[in-house]
Structure 1
Amino acid sequence: MLRPEQMSKVSVAGSKRVMSDAIETMHQLNLVHITDYDGSWDGFEPGDSLEGADETSSKLVTVRALANSLDLDGDEVNTDAAVDLTNADEQLEEIRTQVNDLDDRQDNLEDRRREIDEQLDQMELFADLGLDLDLLWGYDSLDVVVGEGDGEAIAESLEAAEHIAAFDVFTGDESNSVAVFGYSEDDADDDLDDALVGVPFTAYEVPEVDGDPQSNVADLQEERKQVEAELEKIDNELESIKINSGNFLLALEEELTIEAQKTEAPLRFATTDHSFIVEGWIPTEKVEALRQTFDSKVGDQLEVSEIKRAKYTDASGHSEEEVHEEEAATDGGQPIADEDDSEPEVMADGGKSDGDLVTVEDDPPVVQQNSKLVNPFEILTRAVNQPKYSEFDPTITLFLTFPLFFGFMIGDVGYGLLYVFIGYAVYRKFDSKALSDFGAVVVWLGLLTTLFGFLYGEILGLHFIEQMGMEPVLKKGIDSTAWAITWLLVSVVAGWLHLNLGYIFNFVEEWTIHGAKPAVVEVGSWLLMLNGLWVFIFSDLFSGAKPGFLVGSEALFATGPLGFGFEGFPAIAGIVGLALFALGIVIIITGPWYEVVEFLVPLAHTLSYTRLAAVLLAKAGMALAVNLLYFGAYRDSEGFHFMHTYEPGYTPKHGEVVFGGLANMGSTFPLGPFQLGLEGAILGLPVYLIGHAVVLAIGGTAAIQAVRLEYFEFFEKFYEGGGKKYEPFGHERTHTSD
């Protein structure tokens, strides 16, 4: 689980006469993650596409364009129906013609609808002026402009214009529409426009039509309805094509995609005039199956070799184990020569056939190895980045700690079951792997929340265990300082252990990749500082200066709610802890000395885990507020109590009412063991439900706090990411069969 699946690099070489057969076999296997040839070998060039590649690509573009025009979605068509692709070209051309014709009609109608909308806007402005349209155009010596503006400002500007002999301004009743008529003595066409310069005014083109603007508005509105009807008809026709031909298009797209992959595959190969070599990565356990399949499909005309078996001991992925045929290399990763140490075979066309040499150095892709139970949590790992081949995969640690942190913080049976229901609904409803994995993660969060809810004895913030006359195993501490501080200490210890795990992962990685010295200097120093510091903090050394709840006879880990007799490490352990902390600083100075400025990281990052207890108390407080608002409460010498049984005017014998509660208002009625106010119980119910819905939603932010601890405190210690996803050459058919 911590390591990805081991990968081997294989090469397939042979004559170009069998290249098509090799491509077909490789595609059907869907196993080889091809390494693209970069042209680095003398005598070898990237290959050319196979015959028919251009035609296939052209058809694929057409099919995808049609699918886009139809807004085609595999979920909306009957993908189980049989599809006949024998006359695919004729069917495709028929569909293309129909869809293109409908698209052209649709575009023309949409253009006309936009024109109508623009004309309606202007025509409504003309109608507001109360003038017939034929009065606004067609004059020989009279200038007319119509638009929107300030009628008074326009009149003042025309009055001041010397070249305007006469004018009249008409304004609309309900808008700022304006019609300006003007006559100039010199009969210039632009005199009226010049007079309006500097005045806020937007001119519109006047249509050369007759009649009442209102009638034109009615005509345009009627035409718009007709256009809308035609557009709706076209939409229905497109939907019909989508339903009838959607499955065919999806099947054809898949078939063409596969064909395009095959015909364009040689672009990724190293080729000469007569031969080819293709390299790629494959799970090591599948190498023999690859050989056998090529032997049975193509025969001995191909040379299939395992040329590298990737190790987990190099940060760049280039420290791999070279293999020759089935024997592993033992020389540190250099190519193994034949027993006679002969020169590489020279082909007829001059190219060298080094079947056991690597043409392109690249990192192996990553196939994460997690069980079905853990697999959904890979979505959280990949949210940071794909693991590198040389890194530990932290998914299993996320599975073990993330739901635990979340459940500890929320800890409520009611909320937990709601999270389970929400997560399961997402898991079942969506086909997307990302969404279904997210749903599965939420289910796990809900399960741990429910488990802690039973331990805390809470359901929607109510202490149901106490109502049954029993004591819960744990308490959240909202009404107990001892419990609250205990959870702070537990959070610190959890952080201490969690960070140790992260540093140990990093230590192992550094040791296996770079050796003992870098591991000790760059990681071991931080392990010494982390553990030395916290051993000192939990020791009796200088106990008088430390809080009493931490060490000593009154320490909460000794006599508190979870007390197990731990009064602190002895003073000598504290001295050793300080010495280890100082030693860690000295070791850092001998290596990456600049990191010494972060010597308080072991303290700060561990204290960051106290957010677990903080969210625990905050969420409990929010649920308490909602229940207090609805049920009311009183406090007596024994503590705080919700008033499930209450009558108006009731006063506790040895306490006081904190708040009467919405449910206790109005005339009372019995509900099982409860005595509730009829009106208040009903009217307050929406407040109760909405309040808990808000708490449920805000409680979900606990996931953010838990993820933050995983990503920023834990991952930072050992995880970088940046690996390459395993993408084998092939295609998983969903709409066609082979």
Structure 2
Amino acid sequence: MLRPERMSKVSVAGSRAVMEPVIEAVHDLNLVHLSDYDGSWAGFDNGNPVEGSETASEKLVTVRSLKSILGVEEEDAGPSRIVEDEALDEELAEVREEVNELDERRTEVRDELREVEDRIGSMAPFADLGIDLDLLSGYETLEVRVGEGDAEELRAALEAAEDVDEFELFTGEGDVVAAFVYPEGEADGETLDDALVGVDFAGLDVPDAEGSPEEYLEELRHRKEKLQSKLDSIEGDLEEIKLDAAGFLLAAEEKLSIEVQQTEAPLQFATTEHAFVAEGWVPTDRYDDLVAALEDAVGDRVEIEELERAEYTEEGHAAHTEEVDHGEPESTETPAEPGDADEEEPPKAATDGGTATASAAGSSGAVTMADDPPVIQDNVKAAQPFEFLLEMINRPKYSELDPTIVLLLTFPAFYGFMLGDLGYGLLYIAVGYLLYSRFEDDVFRSLGAIGMWAGGFTALFGVLYGEFFGMHFLGEIVFPSGSPPLHKGLQPAFSYYGQAWLVASLLLGLLHLTIGYVFGFVNDLDHGVVESYLEHGSWATLMIGLWTWVFSRHLQGAKPSMLYTSFGPQGEHTALNLGFSGLPEAVGLFVGLPLLAIGFLTMVYGEVKHYGLLGVLIGGLESFSVFGDVLSYLRIGAVILAKAGMAFVVNLLFFGVYVVDGEWHFATSHAPSYYAEHGYHGAEVTEVMFGGLLHGGIATAILGVFVLVFGHAVVLLLGVTSAGLQGIRLEYVEFFDKFYEGGGRVFDPFGYDREYTAED
């Protein structure tokens, strides 16, 4: 659970005569994460793709192009099918011809339609102007400009122009203006251009056409309708082809993808003229499955060996076993140089059906393709959705503890503790269930599952707080005493609960961070116990020592009283009587302070080992973080009060609130003024905080309903951005910082999960 699945590095070596069936068997198994050969082993080169790879790649490109043109999606697939090579070629050629022809026609029509639409757009201002197009150009003594601008501003500019003899302006219904100008001199266009300098006037090109612009525009619109009808017809033909060919294209893509994977696999192998060696990672407990599959495929014509097993020692850190004994004698041969095999003597046949070179490569026990093992997280089903939160940063390295289970146990609890409302919790569960059940994408399903977990804890704490959408009646219904066991601490009568939750936040932080330091200590044990302690254990010792002293009664008067009154037998100021009124003074003096000193000195010593004398300064400055990191968890208690306050204000505005002995009551059945006159169960109402929109008449009641619904929707959404983000921050920034690096390799087995094709 805290460790990934154990992985083994395996080697498969044999004659190139059996390479293709080996590739097919390994691919069908979908179990081996292949390693890339880097060419470093003398006598071996990276292999070449199997014959037919280029053809399969070209067909795959064609299929994906056709899918894109037709807009084929996964939901368009029919039942799985067997796709034969000959049938694939024939049907693919037929579909390609039909689709390409229609696609070319569609492109032509779209281009023409776009051109017509552009012409309609350019013609519209002239239709608004209402002057025949042939009258707007072609004059020898007259300068004409058509554009969009202010006619009065243009008129003033032309009247002020000295070289303008006469002019006339024509305007349409909009801001289109046509200016006809007789210059005093030659009509070369410069007179009108000079007059337009400084005028807000955007010129328009006169279309190369004659006659009425309205009639010409009508012709263009008619042409557009015909082109659109033609385009719709082509789209309909393509849609029919899509309905018929979608299943085939998806199946063909899958078949060709598998073929390309298999034919290009030798690029990752180490090969000679006669032999090949392939290496990869496989889950250790599935190694026998790999052996069985290859024996079924090619018998004893390949040599299979477990070269390395990445496992963990009793101390808990990663260790690599270079030679794994499976009961067979180990070979002491080394790979032959290619020159030796070619010049001295031909390669000898090995007992596995390959060559001596391949046999030596496969049985040497040496890892030729050095790479880290990929990571398969091994979590219980309930925790698996929380792997999404981890992968937002990066998946854990193979040598790291996987904190996913801690996320499962802490993040929903933090979230629910901060919000704590049955109504909100049920809504979160409902939204989470919709995401989980309606989407197939792993991201949405993970978010949905996380939402349901968070909603469940929100509902649980809501029952304990006795709250339903910020109302406090739930405790009277659920609990025999008529009062819930917990309060958020917003009301004056229960304000000491707010202080208690701040203390509880500190204790949660101490526990959370201690787990983080323990994880870090275990992760670094491969560097030695001492080094791991200096790196992580010293900080944990410093933190625990400091906070042991803080929670002790030593110098009690200088510390906040809530540390000793929140969970101890202190009368009216006790939120939960857990019998804790502070650690004894002696514990603070003789346990806390010594631990603090030991932690500080060992931490500084570790910094000095890394940075020299500068480490004293670095360690001294960083030592304060063990205080600040724990204080960071006070945000849990702060969010409890903030969210309770927001929900309270929403309900206050709608129902109205009156106060009895420091307790707030919502006026659900009568206006607050009624209780002010008659009392509440015999108790005096000491204050009316707000009369409530519900009790102010029909108009205010309608407004109040809007305030109630909108307000609680805002609180619900802010729960994600406050409680959610604050909880994530505590996980990512405070907790993960103590031990987590990430950077693990994704396990990507050589194979394919078939969806649209059946096995040949």
**TM-score w.r.t. length of structure 1:** 0.90
Give 1:477's aligned residue: 489
Among candidates 662, 672, 691, match of residue 711 of structure 2: 691
One-letter identity of the residue aligned with 2:510: W
Give 1:707's aligned residue: 728
One-letter identity of the residue aligned with 1:602: V
1:204/1:557 Cα in 2 relative to 1: closer, same or farther (>3 Å)? Answer: same
Q: Which moved more, 1:467-476 or 1:261-270?
A: 467-476
Look up the SS of the partner of 1:591 in the other structure: helix
Residue 403 of structure 1 and its aligned partner are, at CA, apart by: 0.8
Q: Which moved more, 1:218-227 or 1:638-647?
A: 638-647
Task: Tell whether the 8 Å contact from 2:130 to 2:214 is kept in structure 1 after alignment.
Answer: no
Give 1:546's aligned residue: 559
Residue 452 of structure 1 and its aligned partner are, at CA, apart by: 1.1
Residue 155 of structure 1 and its aligned partner are, at CA, apart by: 6.4
Task: Tell whether the 8 Å contact from 1:144 to 1:182 is kept in structure 2 after alignment.
Answer: no
1:176/1:393 Cα in 2 relative to 1: closer, same or farther (>3 Å)? Answer: same
Equivalent residue runs for 1:696-735 within 5 Å: 696-701=716-721, 702-735=723-756
Q: Which whole-Å CA distance do the structure 2 matches of 1:581 and 1:529 have between them?
A: 4
Residue deviations 1:108-160, cap 9 Å, x none?
22222322232222222222333111112344565544334555666677778
Give 1:580's aligned residue: 595
Give 1:499's aligned residue: 513
Residue deviations 1:166-210, cap 9 Å, x none?
765544442143344556855758776677667655443323322
Give 1:670's aligned residue: none
Give 1:557's aligned residue: 568
Look up the SS of the partner of 1:41 in the other structure: coil
Q: In the alignment, does 2:659 pair up with 1:628?
A: no
Residue 223 of structure 1 and its aligned partner are, at CA, apart by: 1.9
Q: Which whole-Å CA distance do the structure 1 matches of 2:208 and 2:561 have between them?
A: 95
Q: Which whole-Å CA distance do the structure 2 matches of 1:127 and 1:680 have between them?
A: 53
Q: Which moved more, 1:280-289 or 1:695-704?
A: 695-704
Residue 281 of structure 1 and its aligned partner are, at CA, apart by: 0.5
Q: Which whole-Å CA distance do the structure 2 matches of 1:371 and 1:602 have between them?
A: 32
Residue 226 of structure 1 and its aligned partner are, at CA, apart by: 2.3
* Structure 1 residue ranges without an equivalent (≥5): 329-336, 667-677
Task: Tell whether the 8 Å contact from 1:149 to 1:178 is kept in structure 2 after alignment.
Answer: no
Q: In the alignment, does 2:435 pair up with 1:404?
A: no
Q: Which moved more, 1:497-506 or 1:643-652?
A: 643-652
Task: Tell whether the 8 Å contact from 2:499 to 2:566 is kept in structure 1 after alignment.
Answer: no
* Structure 2 residue ranges without an equivalent (≥5): 348-356, 608-614
Q: Which whole-Å CA distance do the structure 1 matches of 2:499 and 2:566 have between them?
A: 11
Q: In the alignment, does 2:30 pair up with 1:30?
A: yes
Task: Tell whether the 8 Å contact from 1:634 to 1:652 is kept in structure 2 after alignment.
Answer: no
Q: In the alignment, does 2:285 pair up with 1:285?
A: yes
1:258/1:177 Cα in 2 relative to 1: closer, same or farther (>3 Å)? Answer: farther
Task: Tell whether the 8 Å contact from 1:148 to 1:201 is kept in structure 2 after alignment.
Answer: yes
Task: Tell whether the 8 Å contact from 1:106 to 1:231 is kept in structure 2 after alignment.
Answer: yes
Q: Which whole-Å CA distance do the structure 1 matches of 2:661 and 2:691 have between them?
A: 18
Task: Tell whether the 8 Å contact from 2:167 to 2:179 is kept in structure 1 after alignment.
Answer: no
Q: Which whole-Å CA distance do the structure 1 matches of 2:163 and 2:274 have between them?
A: 89
1:679/1:153 Cα in 2 relative to 1: closer, same or farther (>3 Å)? Answer: closer
Q: Which whole-Å CA distance do the structure 1 matches of 2:153 and 2:662 have between them?
A: 81
Give 1:333's aligned residue: none
Q: In the alignment, does 2:638 pair up with 1:614?
A: yes
One-letter identity of the residue aligned with 1:300: D
Task: Tell whether the 8 Å contact from 2:77 to 2:756 is kept in structure 1 after alignment.
Answer: no
Residue deviations 1:455-487, cap 9 Å, x none?
112211122344446121211111122111011
Q: Which whole-Å CA distance do the structure 2 matches of 1:159 and 1:117 have between them?
A: 38
Look up the SS of the partner of 1:354 in the other structure: helix
Q: Which whole-Å CA distance do the structure 2 matches of 1:665 and 1:147 have between them?
A: 60
Q: Which whole-Å CA distance do the structure 1 matches of 2:191 and 2:108 have between them?
A: 39
1:306/1:640 Cα in 2 relative to 1: closer, same or farther (>3 Å)? Answer: same
**TM-score w.r.t. length of structure 2:** 0.88
One-letter identity of the residue aligned with 1:492: L
Give 1:671's aligned residue: none
Q: Which moved more, 1:177-186 or 1:230-239?
A: 177-186
Residue 602 of structure 1 and its aligned partner are, at CA, apart by: 1.2
Q: Which whole-Å CA distance do the structure 1 matches of 2:449 and 2:678 have between them?
A: 48
Residue 591 of structure 1 and its aligned partner are, at CA, apart by: 1.8
Task: Tell whether the 8 Å contact from 2:169 to 2:177 is kept in structure 1 after alignment.
Answer: no
Task: Tell whether the 8 Å contact from 1:530 to 1:581 is kept in structure 2 after alignment.
Answer: yes
Q: Which whole-Å CA distance do the structure 2 matches of 1:180 and 1:107 have between them?
A: 42
Percent identical across equivalent pairs?
45
Equivalent residue runs for 1:56-455 within 5 Å: 56-75=56-75, 77-80=76-79, 82=81, 85=84, 86-139=86-139, 142-149=142-149, 168-180=168-180, 201-312=201-312, 320-326=320-326, 338=330, 341-344=332-335, 348-349=341-342, 353-355=360-362, 356-455=365-464
Q: Which whole-Å CA distance do the structure 2 matches of 1:141 and 1:724 have between them?
A: 80
Q: Which whole-Å CA distance do the structure 1 matches of 2:727 and 2:253 have between them?
A: 43
1:344/1:115 Cα in 2 relative to 1: closer, same or farther (>3 Å)? Answer: closer
1:83/1:92 Cα in 2 relative to 1: closer, same or farther (>3 Å)? Answer: same
Q: Which moved more, 1:537-546 or 1:631-640?
A: 631-640
Q: Which whole-Å CA distance do the structure 1 matches of 2:319 and 2:495 have between them?
A: 56
Task: Tell whether the 8 Å contact from 1:312 to 1:389 is kept in structure 2 after alignment.
Answer: no
Q: Which whole-Å CA distance do the structure 2 matches of 1:111 and 1:276 have between them?
A: 54
Give 2:352's aligned residue: none
Q: Which whole-Å CA distance do the structure 1 matches of 2:165 and 2:695 have between them?
A: 84
Residue 338 of structure 1 and its aligned partner are, at CA, apart by: 3.9
Q: Which whole-Å CA distance do the structure 2 matches of 1:663 and 1:437 have between them?
A: 41
Give 1:603's aligned residue: 627
Residue deviations 1:483-535, cap 9 Å, x none?
11011101100100110000011111112x10012112111110111100100
Q: Which whole-Å CA distance do the structure 2 matches of 1:212 and 1:641 have between them?
A: 77
One-letter identity of the residue aligned with 2:716: L
Look up the SS of the partner of 1:712 in the other structure: helix
Kindly report the root-mean-square deviation, in angstroms, between the aligned alpha carbons of the 2 structures. Answer: 2.8
Give 2:546's aligned residue: 533
Task: Tell whether the 8 Å contact from 1:137 to 1:208 is kept in structure 2 after alignment.
Answer: no
Q: Which moved more, 1:576-585 or 1:175-184?
A: 175-184
Residue 729 of structure 1 and its aligned partner are, at CA, apart by: 0.3
Q: Which moved more, 1:258-267 or 1:132-141?
A: 132-141
1:129/1:568 Cα in 2 relative to 1: closer, same or farther (>3 Å)? Answer: same
One-letter identity of the residue aligned with 1:711: Y
Task: Tell whether the 8 Å contact from 1:525 to 1:585 is kept in structure 2 after alignment.
Answer: yes
Q: Which whole-Å CA distance do the structure 1 matches of 2:168 and 2:701 have between them?
A: 72
Look up the SS of the partner of 1:540 in the other structure: coil
Residue deviations 1:608-656, cap 9 Å, x none?
1111111111111112112222221211236222222315852244223
Task: Tell whether the 8 Å contact from 2:465 to 2:485 is kept in structure 1 after alignment.
Answer: yes
Among candidates 653, 658, 664, match of residue 695 of structure 2: 664
1:148/1:357 Cα in 2 relative to 1: closer, same or farther (>3 Å)? Answer: same
Task: Tell whether the 8 Å contact from 1:307 to 1:325 is kept in structure 2 after alignment.
Answer: no
1:374/1:146 Cα in 2 relative to 1: closer, same or farther (>3 Å)? Answer: same
Among candidates 665, 668, 682, match of residue 644 of structure 1: 668
Residue 234 of structure 1 and its aligned partner are, at CA, apart by: 2.5
One-letter identity of the residue aligned with 2:651: N
Q: In the alignment, does 2:485 pair up with 1:486?
A: no
